[in-house]
Structure 1
Amino acid sequence: MSEDSLRSVVVGRTGTGHFVATNTRGGTIRFGTASDGGPNTDFTPVELLLAAIGGCTAADVDVATSRHAEPDEFSVTVTGDKISDELGNRMTDLVVTFRVAFPDGEGAERARAILPRAVGASHDRLCTVSRTIETGTPVTTAIEHA
């Protein structure tokens, strides 16, 4: 691995079922799996996966379309079914749905025209997150003793 290709985050436990991920630039995101009885608005790890898929492809499509016109609306919804079967716990039937609207005008017409191509390019080769899932990249685990 090279300095240019390596990506990493550190996940630290902040309490029972509660964690914070920190990137190399110092950014953080809190998430969790447990509720202490009160309302829990933290993202779950599965929701973070869905957000990563949506965020990755949204960024690709936004770069391609917004150079022509600023959208009036731009949202990406990612859905899927969490199942448990002989392969273990996993997500199936992942669907990424774009809702994009541009104002009237020549630039907007170009943006609308390239939207399907931009979505396709993101899905087929650009979005690292969904490409990693679709190619089935193995995950290795290791234990370091403190």
Structure 2
Amino acid sequence: MSDPTPDPTLRSIDLTRIGERRYKATNGRGGQLPIGSGDDPDFTPVELLLAALAGCGAVDLDHITGKRAEPVRFDATAEGHKVRDEQGSHLVGLRVTFDVIFPEGEDGDRAREVVPRTLQQIQDRLCTVGRTVALGEPVAYVEKA
């Protein structure tokens, strides 16, 4: 008999081919995201990784600073260089830059004050995506039996 309790640590998506070099990722909540090879407007897998790095940090930064003040502006840029060397294709020089402005006043000052510490916490322990990349968890590509 199988355990009816789902594993609370498991995260997954399903990917379906929707055209030539185009795919659709679907999460368990029904959200969908088109993925392409770069020949169309769809995000490429590399761009999705960069978006995941920025998004992961943004969620944490917004959660922590948002307890103090709502930002007037909240933008981020994620970048890296795609290289091919003796280790194969990979990204180097990964960097996420946040451009966040809070309102004038005491609440805005409190939010600004926690940004440096929060960014360090995001890098060191909070962002699952960034931590996985930094720790270098192996990925297994397998065929369904």
| TM-score interval, smaller chain | over 0.9
Aligned ranges 1:49-128 → 2 under 5 Å: 49-128=49-128
Q: Structure 1 residues 12-21 or 26-35, which shifts more?
A: 26-35
Matched to 1:93, the amino acid is G
Equivalent residue of 1:26, what SS? coil
Kindly provide the CA deviation profile for residues 15-43 of structure 1, in whole angstroms up to 9, marking residues without a partner as x. 111000011111110010053xxxx2110
Matched, 1:18 2:18: no
Unaligned runs of 5+ in 2: 1-5
Aligned ranges 1:26-45 → 2 under 5 Å: 26-33=30-37, 35=39, 40-45=40-45
Matched to 1:42, the amino acid is D
Quote how far apart the aligned CAs of 1:142 are.
Answer: 1.3
- In structure 2, what is the Cα distance between the partners aligned to 1:67 and 1:34? 38
The TM-score normalised by the length of structure 1 is 0.93
Matched to 1:3, the amino acid is D
Kindly provide the CA deviation profile for residues 65-112 of structure 1, in whole angstroms up to 9, marking residues without a partner as x. 011111111111001000111110100000110101111111110000
Counterpart for residue 3 of structure 2: none
Matched to 2:9, the amino acid is S
Counterpart for residue 143 of structure 1: 143
- In structure 2, what is the Cα distance between the partners aligned to 1:68 and 1:32? 39
CA RMSD, aligned part only?
1.0
Unaligned runs of 5+ in 1: none
Equivalent residue of 1:22, what SS? strand
Q: Please identify runs of 4+ aligned residues in structure 1 that moved more than 2 A.
A: none
Quote how far apart the aligned CAs of 1:144 are.
Answer: 1.5
Quote how far apart the aligned CAs of 1:141 are.
Answer: 1.7
Counterpart for residue 7 of structure 2: 3
Kindly provide the CA deviation profile for residues 111-138 of structure 1, in whole angstroms up to 9, marking residues without a partner as x. 0000111111111000000000000001
Percent identity between matched residues is 46
Quote how far apart the aligned CAs of 1:46 are.
Answer: 0.2
